[in-house]
Amino acid sequence: MSARFKAGDPVVVKNEHRPGHIRTPMYLRGKRGVVLKDYGSWKNPEDLAVGRDGLPLRVNYWVQFRMDDVWNGHGAYGAVDTIAAEIYEHWLEPDTNASGKNRP
Amino acid sequence: MSSGKKPAAGRHAHDHGDHDHSDHDHSGHDHTHDHGDGHGHSHDERTFQPDIKEPSEEWELLEIALRELLVEKGVISAREIQDKIEEWDGKSPATGAEIVARAWSEPAFKKRLLADGNKAVADFGLEVPGLKLVVLENTAKLHHVVVCTLCSCYPRTILGVPPLWYKSKEYRSRTVREPRAVLAEFGTKIAANVEVRVVDSTADCRFLVLPQRPNATKGWSATKLAKLVTRDSMIGTAVALPAEGQRT
């Protein structure tokens, strides 16, 4: 099984709300970013938290976000600053609306 | 105070090894002198503070209940718990500093460290079990600062236990939104044209920052270089110390 995304792919974090142990921070849900790299496959922590086996393994992507794309100006950051967070593959969708502007 | 007899509280030079501070309030006291100098106040006038603060928050009560139950049922002993706490308290950022210093001194090691942190630190007999150690190189163009907004993920086997500020809601919430203000409060200023990349440690990676090597350190031994690597420089809230060994 090959990974869904590769470095450079524009992605959007799903804007869903699910109960339980979720490692996708609220402030990044629905935000657009770019995949930096693939940090390997891991057992799903959402399942491990409730005693399940966490399989199948999920790919953990390092995703970079422009500050403006996350905060829309409601923050105090440099124009070139970014956030990089690990987001599991099942929380990402391809960003079909991505233009050159979306890339950090 | 004119009787010449010393009050029971005695001298207040800060040798407080045999009692803790909760029995009196130190604010406003100049404690480099003996109370016999007669500045005419007594501790009885202070607001009473209880000696022991009872646990009250839900998480405190949960921890105590769980721990006592595990000990009572013989799953783990109080001694084992204490030994483990002591083992963790014994870990220190000096371990990380050694790794950074070797990366600065040996380009081949640095390359291996950046490619696969877990394998490289095995050279030092270190492990980051079950997790991926990622070493992030700070450069003239890129400054990483690590935070865990969700909890307090930190490369504990390399740096020891994280400082309280790292675990605070203030650090965790502000760093992703106003990184430069937070860095400024640490006394760290990053040039405007340098990208500050806030690394939110949300999953299975544990991040160690490889700070930039200070100028004027050519030819230094790894041991000498390690002294310039502070804990905060491996988190990203500071840069390494300059060659002089202290900041001006």
Cα separation, B121 vs B113, in Å, equals 7
**Which is it for strands A82-88 and A58-66: parallel, antiparallel or unpaired?**
antiparallel
Judge whether B2 counts as a catalytic residue: no
Q: Which pair of structure tokens corresponds to residue B170?
A: 């203030």
Q: Select the residue from B204, B206, B207 to test the A interface by mutation, using most A Cβ atoms within 10 A.
A: B204
Q: What is the end-to-end Cα distance of chain A in Å, rounded?
A: 29
- Cβ-Cβ contacts under 8 Å for B63 (sequence gap 6 or more): none
Please determine, for the modelled complex, whether the ipTM score is greater than 0.90. Answer: yes
On chain A, the residues whose CB falls within 8 A of the CB of B180 are 76-78, 81
Q: Which residues of B11-35 are buried (b: 16+ CB within 10 A; e: fewer)?
A: ebeeeeeeeeeeeeeeeeeeeeeeb
Can you give the pLDDT at residue A3?
A: 77
pLDDT tens digits along B192-225: 999 999 999 999 999 999 999 999 999 999 999 9
Longest dimension (CA), chain A: 43
CB contact (8 A) between residue A81 and residue B181 = no
Q: Which residues pair with A92 in a beta bridge?
A: A13
**Which is it for strands B132-137 and B205-210: parallel, antiparallel or unpaired?**
parallel
pLDDT tens digits along A55-96: 999 999 999 999 999 999 998 999 999 999 999 999 999 999
pTM of the model: 0.83
Judge whether B205 counts as a catalytic residue: no
Judge whether B3 counts as a catalytic residue: no
Q: Select the residue from B139, B177, B178, B194 to test the A interface by mutation, using most A Cβ atoms within 10 A.
A: B177
Per-chain mean pLDDT for chain B:
87
- Cβ-Cβ contacts under 8 Å for A59 (sequence gap 6 or more): A3, A4, A5, A38, A40, A41, A88, A89
By three-state DSSP, how is residue A20 classified?
Answer: coil
pLDDT higher than threshold 80 for residue B31: no
- Rg value, chain A, Cα: 14
Please count the other Cβ atoms lying within 10 Å of the Cβ belonging to residue B111.
Answer: 12
CB contact (8 A) between residue A80 and residue B194 = yes
Judge whether B151 counts as a catalytic residue: yes
Closest chain B C-alpha to A68 CA, distance in angstroms = 10
Q: Which pair of structure tokens corresponds to residue B65?
A: 């209940």
Can you give the pLDDT at residue B194?
A: 98
On chain B, the residues whose CB falls within 8 A of the CB of A70 are 176
Q: Which of B192, B203, B205 sits opposite A78 (nearest CB)?
A: B192
Closest chain A C-alpha to B205 CA, distance in angstroms = 8
Q: Are B126 and B155 in contact (CB under 8 A)?
A: no
Can you give the pLDDT at residue B2?
A: 44
Cα separation, A101 vs A69, in Å, equals 10
